[in-house]
Structure 1
Amino acid sequence: MNWCENRLTITAKSVCIDVMLEWVTGSTVPSYRHAVLQGIQFFLAGCAGILRPVTLTSFPACEQLVRHGTGLATDGNKAYEQWLTLLGENVFLTSDHLKTLAQLYQRSGLESKTWDMFPPAARSIMTGLMQRQADEWFCPVNFDPEQGITDGGPYWEYLQTYPQQSRPCDLLMILPSRLGSEISGNSALLSGVAETQELYACIHGTPLPAGQNVNWQRDDINRLVVTFDTQWAPPSGEVTGELSSKFEAEVRHSFSETVNRIHGYNCYDQGDHVDSRRSPPDGEESGRIHVFPPVDEPQPEPPAPTAEAEHRTYDQRRG
């Protein structure tokens, strides 16, 4: 696999650097991931007839979601129909949509549902879907494709367990993905919806939108240097520009992928593109940070976020 080496040199107000470090180290709650896990629960419940739309009778992207017909006008069914509308639009997982999706999930009643509460027929349908989508939905639980899924209970429990930390340099925290694509993955579960690998390559420039081998060094209160690898290609200019805008920073990005000879340098300031070239300008380093922090200078663990902080955006945190 080809890896592209990236180096970000960021200059900004100290409070913005503080918040940016949360993104670099993966210490921010990934709310988009919560929405995806809740969306998979919606999908399973709809296909199994646990939830039914109140009026909607057709859903071209996946007719299985409405094959059980309409249901009573309960809060859960009305929430499901609204969720189907957002799924059909393949909405971006922006902060506004994440808030709406969280409210729909609360109204759906799925949060309190355990696996044993579902009828056997519904469990059978959901287990079949879990088997089909195992590689897309359950890689973190070490799914064994040879053994298969015979008991969906642990997998339903996994869908109701929400990560409290993001991945280091998670590009999905900078430019959001889309609801339908995240649920469908690369398996064509939803027809007419872009696969995640295609979507990430288009939006983020790389099919694996998170940093690998991340290292950072804060050599000044207003300056941060981050190095990391991305798969095949560097993050897109849109990512770098959004980083610069979101954190009110000057971001200098140099990158190199030797197999396909992808080399370059971009600079954005307050979101505006100000420079591009084949190699960094004189005086601008492009190498990797190999070891940080030094072994004789252990860094304290970042404090656990408070309940209030978990739900505050980057913009709110930086003031």
Structure 2
Amino acid sequence: MQALPTIEIGEVIRICVDFSLAPLKNQQYKPDPSTFFLGWLLGPCVKLREVSIFHVFGSPDYDGRLFAPLLQHWARSCPCLEALCFLSAHPEDIVKALPAFKNLLSLQMYISAKHNISAADILGMIADCSVSLRKLHLCIHSDTEDITQSLQRCLHALPLREVELCDADEFGTIGLLPGNLGRISWPRTCHTVHVACHGEDLISLAKEIRLSNVRHLGVQVSSDSPFMAADVNNFLAALTCSQLEQLRLEIPMKGDEMPADVLKAIRAGAVTLIQKLQSLHHLLVLDVSSRTFLRGLTRLAKRHGVLLRKPPDWMPLF
């Protein structure tokens, strides 16, 4: 923070700051770090292309509305700005400023239902922004609110090519959007989808993917949701009629090992997918025993031109 005055803001291309790394109210800095940093950012950022600002979800010392004037300044003075990532507690201020960013291509936001405006209303505001977003990553904490219709409208109102959807609570814990993803149809322009979902929603998700132009799919099955081995097998089998080129599937382990019936279902589904989905060239399954899972599949995959990578110890989707 002390080095900021020595940095020429006009030459900065990318900014990434995490206010959760230190308390916002720190006696070492006068004024506090957030105010000092925001003041520095009000300079002429003429070359700025990407901005990522994070904080502790639900922090009582944090006021996301401080960024409203900063966003207005960037909209006027940053013609090169293409990507915004704001995991803040006041998404309405961000959304209100979006129409002014004519060249914005990527947006990542945290949407919470714990403020005066609902998640559905925020999604509606994004849909009405008339921006030419290509990538949209939303962490939505909607409690029991049904956001299916507003989320659907938001996705189809923008020329999106890549979509990432998950739930994140006030502590930043990534989860799923219960009861919503299985009913979402994907825009015809969208080629990449990453989602966190219930195991029981896998089949309905696969059916919508089959009707789409999605080429790259990443799915993280929640460890908190019950699912049957048949859900996984049927999910993979249903994708044989899709246009997928890459599939990344993260299945939660129960204890130290994958249940035998689930592992068997994954293998059976993977075999079907490799044999029947001609467009597939990359299949990655995480959180399974690599030796057990890959046994007998490597030769089959090679024969069909599909790349299988050894699952790492931990590589979360989100």
Fold match by TM threshold 0.5: no
TM-score (norm 2): 0.27
TM-score normalised by L of structure 1? 0.27
Q: Which has the higher contact order (CA 8 A, sep 6+)?
A: 1
